[in-house]
Structure 1
């Protein structure tokens, strides 16, 4: 066998080896791609499941919050007005001094207001701006804390699920202030800028060390929900200087 034949055989073998290596490489790449694809699909499914569970949990919590508020209003306001009406009707001498019709009208107005609050789907019926105003009016009506609300632009997520999550996060902020802050005033701002919304909830309460409560379940719930809707949250507080929670969320 002459040298030229040997060179041809070596070239063929070398070419075959290269083709084999390319084939193995392509096979490995296909396997890696398929594994990544499966992993990404599973991750997407996990995120979708978490999101759906978070939305469902938010609905349940809002329902509980609403029923709690309605029960308190029935006891403190409507019940008191009806008791006064009963007293005036049972004592003619009092009827001359007080117009029971006015009390009945007040009871009707209170019941109508509560019937609107009982509609758990009111998040779908009202804008985010209107929902925040309604929630702050409840707080202001209680007389426990003063409230201020500033709105600039139109902040309205297109889908109902993000709006529900934002509404629930806002309720959690207000609930935490009422429970722990000992605040005299709540300041809320809803601003729209560059395709995103910023919701700021600030109080003049006792404040807290953020490092000491960063693992609290309430704050973790809020942070998790913000991530699920593609936003971010900033918590600023210190002892004696109040607290501000700033939520940035996409419009879409």
Structure 2
């Protein structure tokens, strides 16, 4: 049996203890470093969350300001429309009426000119009808009875004048308390322009108007079974650009779904209070 001196055993024990101590210190240092890194990462994440919250709040404030400005501009435009409509009705309307009366009086004094003067008077009457139609389009008197009545009237008028069946799908709850924020005017004008576009371009035999209300939004969908929109999108007319502009000014969203030969669906969503 070999003999190990006590000093060697002591040295081995001390070396092992030193190694364990070094390993413990190393593990403690790594743990401390990881905690510092985690704390730094947590501070960075907290800072990022704060910055994101501030950015979201700034974006929300900007949207409110844009919407308020758009509402003010819409009110100014509506006031200008009413002024123009009033001037057309009072001034041009009176001039056309006087011209018609003079024409009839002239035809009575000159029976040999009654034929041409009658045709001239008929053209004056057509001009008066066109003027009255323009006045109706400029005014928003239909909204005095509420959005529901205005939309129903617009749908019925479209069917009567165009001969194209038009169905309104909307629950009464969609109109309760009114959308507010001037959205009624925008919805009415957008519907008016959408139906006019169908008459001019769609060659449709059926139209459906849908209105749906959620907690913070009001959606309007105008769908037809016509020829669809031309491709590429750049070929689309000014009517759709006007609709898109109105929707954007109201802080809304405008989507188009269309394929040549398969009709078109316009969907507009407006924020409401």
Q: Give, in angstroms, the shift of residue 69 of structure 1.
A: 4.0
Partner of 1:168: 189
User: For residues 1-252 of structure 1, what are the structure 2 equivalents within 5 Å?
Assistant: 2-3=17-18, 4-74=20-90, 77=93, 80-81=96-97, 123=143, 125-133=144-152, 150-152=167-169, 153-154=171-172, 155-156=174-175, 158-173=179-194, 181=201, 189-192=209-212, 197-200=219-222, 209-213=230-234, 218-223=239-244, 225=247, 231-234=253-256, 236=258, 244-249=264-269
Residue aligned with 1:247, SS: strand
Distance 2:95 2:36 in 1: 86
Residue aligned with 2:267, SS: strand
Distance 1:189 1:251 in 2: 19
Q: Which stretches in structure 1 are left out of the alignment for 5+ residues?
A: 89-114
TM-score (norm 2): 0.54
- Answer whether contact 2:253 2:270 (CA < 8 A) is retained: yes
Q: Give, in angstroms, the shift of residue 13 of structure 1.
A: 1.5
Distance 1:73 1:136 in 2: 25
Residue aligned with 2:222, SS: strand
- How many aligned positions are there? 226
Quickly say closer, same or farther: Cα 1:171–1:62, change in 2 above 3 A.
farther
TM-score (norm 1): 0.58
More helix by share: 2
Whichever of the two has the greater Rg, that structure is: 2
Quickly say closer, same or farther: Cα 1:251–1:9, change in 2 above 3 A.
closer
Cα deviations across residues 113-147 of structure 1 (Å, max 9, x unaligned)? xx999986874x43223223555788899x8x667
Distance 1:147 1:17 in 2: 76
Residue aligned with 2:179, SS: coil
Q: Give, in angstroms, the shift of residue 44 of structure 1.
A: 1.9
Q: Give, in angstroms, the shift of residue 20 of structure 1.
A: 0.9
Quickly say closer, same or farther: Cα 1:218–1:121, change in 2 above 3 A.
same
Distance 1:201 1:73 in 2: 34
Distance 1:38 1:215 in 2: 39
Partner of 1:108: none
